[in-house]
Amino acid sequence: MKISLLKESFLEKLNLAAKFTSSRLVSSSVLQGVCLVGGENIIDLYSTNLNYYYHTVIKNEGRHEFKMVVEPKKISEFLSLISEPKIDLEIADKKLTIESGRVKGEFPLFESGEFPFPPTLTTEKKKIKAALIKKNLSTIVFSASSDETRPVLTGIDFVSTGDDLKLVSTDGFRLSLLTLKKEESLPSMIVPAPFLSEVAKLIDEDEVSFSYSPEEKILAFHIGNHDLYTRLIDGEFPPFEKVIPTDKKTTVTIDREEFLRNVKLVSIFAREFSSVIILKVEKEGVVLLPKTGNDSANIVKQDAVVEGEPQKIAFNYKFLADFLSNSSAKKIIIELLRGDAPALFKSEGQDNFIHIIMPIRIQE
């Protein structure tokens, strides 16, 4: 059986599907592959790591019935070096041959019989504004943990209460909280942060469709000819309200871009000392310096509007840089109680967002 396809279309879809394959050493190699299923004028592509599922289609004239699972990385590399716009696929026993002009390559096939397809959701598709994910995700996703030993912290907590929808992420050292007007169709749930990042990349319209099954704890987004499924994270999200500061003694209003640049400057020296930056808040502004024991070397001073008493507090510079890089505000507001209490960060002009960073204790 020989199938002709446009190279760029096939390569684009194959690369997208490859993102949802398993990168771990698993007993079943089929999870590292992409499943292609031929039908009437269409080829379906599927991939999964058993937590996420992905499906898309390639239009193809004629009826070609087949089912095969390919290892995508080598094929993608091969296709990226082909200059011709069209390719021919020939499927034989346990191998796929791709030919284009004078180039010909053979690739082994995985056993396709046990490939796990996406779950069938019978619930009604609903729509939400795409901005809920596309616009807002960058402000919170960076605070989610990547440590899979605590799965609940790798997700975004959607908390639907009253008229509000709260989006919360934390890794135990920092926390982001965004409060939005409630979308009636969205329930409370914990959604894996990496999955939402992939969804956001594909959205290019004003609304996006989704399906939700509370019984199977599955959430799916339907974007054009892409279907993305994820298993919701089961567990109790930490009681984040308890770490939100309710009091302050000092407020600092500071230019975000200059502050980010200064954090990066001091980090050059802080990397040799556990990545700790000390922030000294004085009447005229702030002083940034690495935790080296020498308060007169490698310092940066920055003007700021300071209200309240002087403070001295230390942070992991990476946490400061992450927050400042993901904010688009011109100025940042920092509220401090004392050097060993959580610091509250706000983006000026955005009343519905707060970010909290836990300080690092330092000896005076």
Q: Give the CATH number of domain 244-357.
A: 3.10.150.10
Calculate the average pLDDT of the chain: 92
Fold of 2-110: DNA Polymerase III; Chain A, domain 2 (3.10.150)
Question: Does residue 300 carry a pLDDT above 80?
Answer: yes
Please say if the pLDDT value at position 26 is more than 90: no
Q: In the chain, where are the structural domains located?
A: 2-110, 126-241, 244-357
> Is 244-357 the same fold as 2-110?
yes
pLDDT tens-digit readout, 314-347 = 999 999 999 999 999 999 999 999 999 999 999 9
Query: How far is the C-alpha of 15 from the C-alpha of 23, rounded, in Å?
Result: 14
* DSSP per residue, 289-347: EESSS-TTSS-EEEE-EEEES-EEEEEEHHHHHHHHHT---SEEEEEES-TTSPEEEEE
Amino acid at 64: H
Expressed in angstroms, the distance from the first to the final Cα of the chain is: 75
- Model confidence at 364: pLDDT above 70: no
- Confidence at residue 335, expressed as pLDDT on a 0 to 100 scale: 98
pTM: 0.89
The CATH superfamily assigned to 126-241 is: DNA Polymerase III, subunit A, domain 2 (3.10.150.10)
